[in-house]
Amino acid sequence: MIEKREFYIGGRWVSPATPNDLPVIDPSTEEPCAVISLGSEADTNAAVAAAKEAFPSWAFTAPAKRREYVEKILANYEARQEELARAISLEMGAPIDFARNSQAPCLPWHLKNFLTAFDSFEFLRPLGQHAPNDRIALEPVGVVGLITPWNWPMNQVTLKVIPALLAGCTMVLKPSELAPLSSLLFAEFVHDAGVPPGVFNLVNGDGPGVGSQLSGHKDVDMISFTGSTRAGAAITKNAADTFKRVCLELGGKGANLVFADADEKAVKRGVMHCFNNSGQSCNAPTRMLVERPIYDQAVEIAREVAENRKVASAHEPGNHIGPVVSEAQYNKIQGLIEKGIAEGARLVAGGLGRPEGLNRGYFVRPTVFADVTNEMTIAREEVFGPVLSIIPFDTEEEAVAIANDTIYGLTNYVQSQDGERRNRLARRLRSGMVEMNGQSRAAGSPFGGVKASGRAREGGHWGIEEFLDVKAISGWAAE
C-alpha cells in the first residue's frame, strides 16, 4: 500500500490540517493500492495563500527563466517516466503498455509543443501601424485553480500546469481523487526542477470539498477545469460571485461520419478509436454514422472488432483494453447498456456483465449497438465506456443534422475519399475539432469544444493564451 497523505504547499510537503483518509482503488483488482488524504478548507486556504504570495515575483520572472524551469520538469520526467507510467496504470487501470506508450508520453508531447509556441510568443505587441504609441500586453491572469479528471491524468495536468507556468501564473492543482498518484509524482518533478516555492501547489480533495473551495475562493482568479459537464456547470455558478475566468473542457458525443467511399480500414479504425482507453475519452467517436450502402458491412466489421478486442488486467503486458476507472463508472455504463437494449437498439456485440473469465475488476464488455436512433439515450448521453452506437444515414444533409443534434460539440470525424466533401463537412460540423480519414491533429493544434463540451482551448499557442489577460496601453514611449 502506497501512503501519500501529504500536500505540496509553498515548496514543501506538508501534512493535512485535518487528516481525512481516502483509499485509492486499483480498478483491475478492486483492492486499495494507496491511501491519500482529502484536503479541508484550511489546506485550500494555505495553498491559495502560498500561490498569492508567490505571484508578484513569478509574474515578472524573465520568460527565459520560466522556460528553464519547464525544461527541467521535462528532464525529471525523462528520468522517471517508467514510474509515471506505473502510477497511471495503477490508479486508473490503463494497461501498462498503453500507459507507457500513450498515457505518460502526453507529458513530453504537450510540454514540447508549449515550448515551441512560447519561443515565438509576444507578451508585448504593437496594436498596429496606425497607433505607434499603443501596446497590447499579455499578462498572467493571477492565481489559478486547476481541477483535473482521472481519464488521461497526465495529459490534463500537463495541458494546464505547463502553460500556466509559462504564462507567469501561480497555481493550485487539485487532481482527481480517483487518480492522484501520477499528479503527486508530477509535483516531485516540479519540486526537483527548483520552481520557486508557492508557484505550484497541490492539494488532494474531492469536488464538494477542495474543488468547490477553489472555484469559490476570493483569491483565485481563474479556474481551468476538465471533467464532467455537470461539474463544469457547478463550477461556473460557484465562480460567478468572484468574477473568475472559467475555462471548461467537458464531455463529448463525437459523430464519425462514414461514407460509402471511405477507405477500407475506416470502420475498424473508428471502432478501435471508440474503445481506446476503455472508451474513457471525451473525444471518443461514440456515434458511428454509416451511409446506407455499406451499413450492413460496417455493422459486421464492428461486431468482429468488438468480439476480438481483448479485455484484461492493467498489470498484464499487451495491447488489450483494461477496466474502467471505478465501480460507479462500471454501474453507470451497465445502466446505459441496459437502456440501449430497453429502448430497442440492436445489440450486436458485448452487452451486460463482465467479459468471460473476469470475475473481479471493473471490466466492461466491448459493446456495439446497431440500428440506434439519435433520440435513444445511448446516442445522447456520454457513456464513458467501450460502447459504440451505429446509426444509418441516406444523405450528407441527414448525416450533418444527426451529427449536430447533440448538446455536445467536441470532436467530429469524417471518413470519405472525396476531398471536396471533406472540406465542406469540416466547416458544417459544429464542434471545436474535426478529424478526417484517421489523421490526428498536428503538434500545437488547440484542443477544445463548443456548447456543452466547454469552450477551453488547450495546447500550443492558444493554450498559453488561456492563462493571459489582455492589457491595452496608450502613451507608450518610443523605444
Name the residues that contact ligand NAD, by CB under 6 A: 147-151, 174, 176-177, 206-207, 211-212, 215, 226-228, 231, 234-235, 249-251, 282, 382, 384
Q: Which is nearer to ligand NAD, 157 or 169 (CB)?
A: 157
| Catalytic hit among 106, 169, 247, 282 | 282
Q: Which is nearer to ligand NAD, 231 or 290 (CB)?
A: 231
Task: State the nearest-atom distance from the C-beta of 227 to ligand NAD, in Å.
Answer: 3
Count other Cβ atoms within 10 Å, centred on residue 83.
Answer: 15
CA-wise closest residue to 36 among 174, 144, 217, 195: 174
For residue 33, indicate whether it is catalytic. Answer: no
Out of 249, 382, 435, 466, the active site residue is: 249
Closest CB to ligand NAD among 102 and 415?
Answer: 102
Cell of 364: 466492461
Element (H, E) at 201: strand 200-202
Please report which helix (H) or strand (E) contains residue 377, including its range: helix 377-380
| Integer Cα distance of 263 and 436 in angstroms | 11
Instruction: Give the three-class secondary structure for 78.
Output: helix
CB of 126 to ligand NAD, least distance (A): 38
CB of 91 to ligand NAD, least distance (A): 12
Q: Show the CA angle centred on residue 379, arms to residues 377 and 385, nearest 5°.
A: 90
Q: Which residues of 322-336 are buried (b: 16+ CB within 10 A; e: fewer)?
A: bbbbbeebbebbbeb
Q: HSE on the CB side for 62, CA within 13 Å? A: 3
SS3 assignment, position 414: strand
Question: What would the grid cell of residue 303 be?
Answer: 461486431
Chain mean position to CA 452: 15
Would you say 158 or 212 has its CB closer to ligand NAD?
212
Q: Which is nearer to ligand NAD, 195 or 231 (CB)?
A: 231
CB of 25 to ligand NAD, least distance (A): 13
**Catalytic residue at 282?**
yes
Q: How many CA atoms lie within 13 A of 396 on its CB side?
A: 14
Strand spans (E) along 292-375: 346-349, 367-370
Helix (H, G, I), strand (E, B) or coil at 200: strand
The number of helices, as runs of H, and strands, as runs of E, in the chain is: 15, 20
Separation between Cα atoms, residue 100 and residue 85, nearest integer Å: 5
Task: Pick the closer one to ligand NAD by CB: 258 or 376.
Answer: 376
| In the complex, minimum distance from the CB of residue 21 to ligand NAD, in angstroms, rounded to a whole number | 16
Least gap, CB of 3 to ligand NAD (angstroms): 21
Catalytic residue IDs: 249, 282
